[in-house]
Amino acid sequence: MNNNNHQKIFELIVEKANELYPSKNITKNSPLIGDNAKLDSMELVTFLVEVEQEINERFNTTISLMSERAMSRSSSPFRNVEALVEYILELINE
């Protein structure tokens, strides 16, 4: 997948985050999990469901962001926005 799709996915994620949680100021390097996370656990789940649905609609795919595969990685795809973008690209490219 090309750089253009990377940018589209990044913009979609930031747009969705700011739509759901405007006061959180989510950016490319915002931590999504851990001690300094911008979102609490319920907010993260809601956010991931919304992103997953939007990605599936816009890219005509059926990815699942919260799978065992994602949870079992040594480096979480939810550690920050950029990691999430890279993980989504990986899933779409399969």
What pLDDT score was predicted for residue 28?
A: 84
What pLDDT score was predicted for residue 29?
A: 87
Give alpha helix (H) positions in 1-94: 3-20, 41-58, 68-71, 81-92
The segments of the chain whose pLDDT lies below 50 read 1
Any idea what the CATH number is for the domain that residue 8 is in?
A: 1.10.1200
How many structural domains are present in the chain?
1
Closest CA to 88 of 9, 3, 2: 9
What pLDDT score was predicted for residue 27?
A: 87
Instruction: Give the distance between the most distant pair of CA atoms in the chain.
Output: 35
Structural domain for 66, as ranges: 3-92
